[in-house]
Amino acid sequence: VLIFFFFKQKTAYEISACTYFFFFQAEDGIRDAQESRGLGDVYKRQYQRRVHGELSKFLMQRLNTLTQQLVAAQRQQDDVFADVQLAPPDVILGLTLAFKADQDPNKVSLGVGAYRDDDGKPYVFQSVRKAEQKIVSANLDKEYAPIDGTPEFIKAAQKLLFAGEDILAKYGRHVVTSQCVGGTGSLRLAFEFLNRFKPGTIYVSNPTWANHNQIVEYMGLRLVQYPYWCPKTKGLNFSGMIECLSQAAPGSIILLHACAHNPTGVDPTAEQWREIAKVCREKRLFPYFDNAYQGFASGDLEKDSLSLRIFLEEGLQFLVTQSFAKNFGLYGERVGAIHVVCNSKEIAERVSSQMKIVVRVTYSNPPIHGARLVQTIIGDSQLFDEWRQELKQVAGRIIQMRAMLRQELESQGAPGKWDHITSQIGMFSYTGLTPKQCDLLTQKYHIYLVKNGRISICGLTTKNVSYVARAIKDVVENA
C-alpha cells in the first residue's frame, strides 16, 4: 500500500527504479529472517531458498509487466487523442486486401463493386479515352469551376438523368443541379441540405448499401428501415414495404434506389413504382432517389430512369443523387451530382442559393477533370453514341454472366432454386448464401464475398464461372 501511495506522485521511470529497490530490500530481509531462526535443517533451507528464488522470479515478471503498464498509461494520459477508439475495418476494403495477398491461382473476387472485363481486368471506356485526348489537345486552363459546376456539366447531367427527354418542361418542373464529389459526396451533401431545410426521419430499405446507413448515423439523423428483401422468394417484399411507408409520419424522407438496387438487384415493377409514388403523395412523404447505375443495369438509359419519370408524372417533388462512377467507369475521378426537382422557378432559385452555401462550406468548388469528361462525351453526338454502345456491351456481359452462373448451378445440381440470379438486375446478386457458407467459400475455394451473400457479378468470367458454381454447390450441400 505504501509503495503504491508513493507511486502516485512519481513518473513512470521513477516508479520503475523505486519498484526494484523496494523489492530487493524486501527479498533480502525475508532471507535474513529465515536463516536467523536457526532451523538447523540444511535441506529445508535449500528448499526454502529454491522456493524463494522461484517466487522472486515470478514477482520480478509481475513487476516488469506492471512497470510497462504504468509507462503505457502515463503516455496515454499525455496523448491528446487517447480517448479515440479503434474503428472497425471497412468490410469491402478488407476483402480487397485479403484477395490481393492470396497466392492461390484460382482465387476469385466477388466483393468489390467495380466492373471487370472477361479477363478480370479493370475496363476504361474507349469513349472516355477519346474524350480525354480531346480535352488535353484543347489546352484548357485549371481555374476553379463555379460552386455548382459548369453550365455544360449541369446540362449534360440533367440530359442523362432524364434520358434526353424534355419532360421537365412537359410537367412544368424546375431542377436545381449541383456537381458533387462522387456519389458518396452527393449523398453527404444532400442529407446536409435536407437536415437544414427539410428535417425528417430517414427511411432506408432493409438491406441497403452500407454507406447509406453510415452517413445517416454519422450525421446523427434518425434512421428507420423499411422491409424490402424477402428471403423466402429472394425477391421484393412489396407488401411489407408499402405497409411500412404508409405508417411513416408526414415529412419523412424515403430513400429509394432508382434502379439496380444494391445489394439485392431487385427492383419494383412499373406498377409497383406507381403505387410507391401514390403512397408518397398521399402521406406527404419526400422521395429521395440514389441513382448510381443508370444504363449499367439494363444497358438502356430510358428503361433505367423509369422510376424518375413515373414520379414526375405523379406530380411529386423529389431529390436525386447521381453517380458517374459505374456507367462511365470514372471510379477514381469522383464525379457526382445532386438534383432537386421543384415546382416553380422562384423556389428553384432559393434552393440553388442555399445548396451553393452547403457546397461552399464543404469543399468550395467541385473538381473539373472528371466533369469535363462527362460533359464532353454527352455533348458530342458521336462520342455519346459510342459511349452508349460500350455501356450496352458492359451491361450485356453482366447479363450474360448471370445466365451462365444460373445454368452452371442448375446443371451441376446445386440444391435449391436459382432463378433469382437472372431475375435480379445490375452489378450485384443477393444469392441467399448464409454467412457460414460464405466463410467456407473463402477458406476452401479462395472466393471472396461479403458475408450477407451479396456477390458482384462483374467478378465472374467465362473462365471461372464453372469453378464458382461448383464451389457454391459444395458449400450449400455441406455448410
Q: Which of 406, 434, 408 is nearest to 419 (CA)?
A: 406
Pick the catalytic residue from 148, 229, 326, 418: 326
Catalytic site includes residue 326: yes
Catalytic site includes residue 290: yes
Catalytic site includes residue 134: no
Describe the crossing of helices 381-411 and 126-137 by its angle, rounded to 10 degrees. Answer: 150
Residue spans of beta strands (DSSP E) within 158-201 = 174-181
Residue 227: beta bridge partners? Answer: 206
Pick the catalytic residue from 148, 234, 267, 290: 290
Q: What is the DSSP letter of 457?
A: G
When computed from its CA atoms, the radius of gyration of the chain, rounded to whole angstroms, is 31
The count of C-alpha atoms lying within 13 angstroms of the C-alpha of 334, restricted to the half-sphere facing its C-beta, is: 9
Greatest C-alpha distance within the chain: 113
Q: What is the DSSP letter of 103?
A: -
Q: 343: exposed, middle or buried (C-beta count within 10 Å: 0-12, 13-18, 19+)?
A: middle
Distance in angstroms (rounded) separating the CA atoms of residues 272 and 238? 8
Pick the catalytic residue from 148, 209, 267, 418: 209
Contacts of residue 229, Cβ cutoff 8 Å, sequence gap at least 6:
205, 206, 207, 236, 237, 264, 266, 430
Q: Terminal CA-to-CA distance of the chain, rounded, Å?
A: 56
> Hey, which residues are catalytic here?
209, 290, 326
